[in-house]
Chain A
Amino acid sequence: MNFPLGLWDISLWIAVTAIILLVTSELIGPYSDYFGDFVIEKTRLRLTALVLGAAFMVTVILRVVMPT
């Protein structure tokens, strides 16, 4: 009854999700000509993307500090 994902798997998932969110938040930013009118709380989306990016960095540091 263990959780089936390891730290490396979660790290990979976080990295992919963070990239998707960062690209999305950049695309729908107010400076974008094409998706600039997208009506969503962009600041919160960007915040989530940045938090996920930071979480990924934490997992990388953990891998460096504790390789096994």
Chain B
Amino acid sequence: MASKDSKQKKKNNSEETQHPVTVQYLMKTLQELQSEHEALKRELLRSRRIPSGRIGAALLIIGSLVLIGSVLASSATFAFIGLGLTFWGALFLFARPIKFVRSTLLDSTAITSYTTVDRMVQDLGYKAKSIYIPPYPKEAYLPEYLKGLKEMVVFIPAEDSATMPTLEEMAKKQFLLKSPKGICITPPGFGLSSVIEKELRAGFTQIRPERLYDLLPKVITSNLELAKSFEMKSENELTHVRITGSVYSSLYSREQGLRSIHFLGCPLTSAIACALAKATGKLVTITKDNVSYDLQTIDVWYQTLEA
């Protein structure tokens, strides 16, 4: 009996000793987070306090005055100073700092939709496979009941060897398809593909697939700066894409444990699948992906399928 009591006491003591540690740890974490929050607030205020527009305008005004003064005083030195100030003022107004979001925020906003797809696919017991279905061109005439075909969708079939849904079924904009069984969702990279189209000033349907191989790397690395390097080439009926330093790379990390990212692709690889589907007018599927250990390099293989 006594030994039982002592065991219970020991258990209680151990709980008591563990509890303060946890509370202390939580308090410490809370303090750290609060200080980080304050630091971010200060940073935000600082960035708001010095608008480059005002600096640019001030430089422009001072430079103009100095330029006028240099003409009145016939001074070459003042003319150079005035010219410089005016130019840099104009440049500050022209090439302003752009608004940015931290890449971690990009991930956190994207994770939700992938987790949802993961849950749906797991719950429905579907095979991890996706087929990107190209939409009809926006300019193409379609009767009212087929207007739904102008939207880009990705079909997740219930079985590996499933046939494709009929046009009528897809035109209904249904989520759950019965024959063949599967779900139709908007690709995670659909929005990004629209942004790329805007940058290219042309729809993917108007671009030949071979031309896409030259255009996409420039837009993704230089214009949108979504990756450090981007290679796209054709490999025996497959399209191989190698992305280095992608802003979405952390979505592939093991800690996230996302399954759907491997068959749907991250927003960037999904946007490429959308682009390929639109440019070729064929079905596109992600056959394989390979992510390096440090998440820096992502290799994705796409396959085009006949409808």
Residues of A participating in the B interface, judged by any CB pair closer than 8 Å: 1-5, 9-10, 13, 17, 21, 29-31, 36, 39-45, 48
Q: Check: B91 CB closer than 8 A to any chain A CB.
A: yes
Contact across chains for A43 and B223 when beta carbons are under 8 A apart = yes
Contact across chains for A41 and B76 when beta carbons are under 8 A apart = no
* Residues of chain A with a CB closer than 8 A to B97's CB: 39-41
* Residues of chain A with a CB closer than 8 A to B78's CB: 4
* Residues of chain A with a CB closer than 8 A to B71's CB: 1-4
Give the residue name and chain of the A residue nearest to B100 (CB). Answer: A39
**Bound Cα distance A67, B228 (Å):** 47
**Bound Cα distance A11, B222 (Å):** 30
Give the residue name and chain of the B residue nearest to A5 (CB). Answer: B79
**Bound Cα distance A36, B229 (Å):** 13
Specify which of A1, A9, A48 is in contact with B95 (CB 8 Å cutoff): A48
* Residues of chain A with a CB closer than 8 A to B229's CB: 31
Contact across chains for B83 and A13 when beta carbons are under 8 A apart = yes
**Bound Cα distance A45, B96 (Å):** 9
Residues of B participating in the A interface, judged by any CB pair closer than 8 Å: 70-72, 74-76, 78-80, 83-84, 87, 91, 94-98, 100, 221-223, 225, 228-229
Contact across chains for B95 and A44 when beta carbons are under 8 A apart = yes
Contact across chains for A40 and B87 when beta carbons are under 8 A apart = no
**Bound Cα distance A18, B223 (Å):** 22
In the complex, the 3 A-B pairs of residues with the closest C-beta atoms, listed nearest first: A44-B95, A45-B95, A4-B76
**Bound Cα distance A59, B83 (Å):** 17
Contact across chains for B72 and A1 when beta carbons are under 8 A apart = yes
* Residues of chain B with a CB closer than 8 A to A1's CB: 71-72, 74
Give the residue name and chain of the B residue nearest to A6 (CB). Answer: B76
Contact across chains for B96 and A41 when beta carbons are under 8 A apart = yes
Contact across chains for A17 and B223 when beta carbons are under 8 A apart = no
* Residues of chain A with a CB closer than 8 A to B72's CB: 1
* Residues of chain B with a CB closer than 8 A to A5's CB: 76, 79-80, 83
* Residues of chain B with a CB closer than 8 A to A17's CB: 84, 87
* Residues of chain A with a CB closer than 8 A to B83's CB: 5, 10, 13
Specify which of A9, A36, A43, A45 is in contact with B76 (CB 8 Å cutoff): A9
* Residues of chain A with a CB closer than 8 A to B70's CB: 4
Q: 30 A–B contact pairs at CB < 8 A?
A: A1-B71, A1-B74, A2-B74, A3-B71, A4-B71, A4-B75, A4-B76, A5-B79, A5-B83, A9-B76, A9-B79, A9-B80, A10-B83, A13-B83, A13-B84, A17-B84, A21-B91, A30-B221, A30-B222, A31-B228, A36-B228, A39-B97, A39-B100, A40-B95, A40-B96, A40-B97, A41-B95, A41-B96, A45-B91, A48-B91
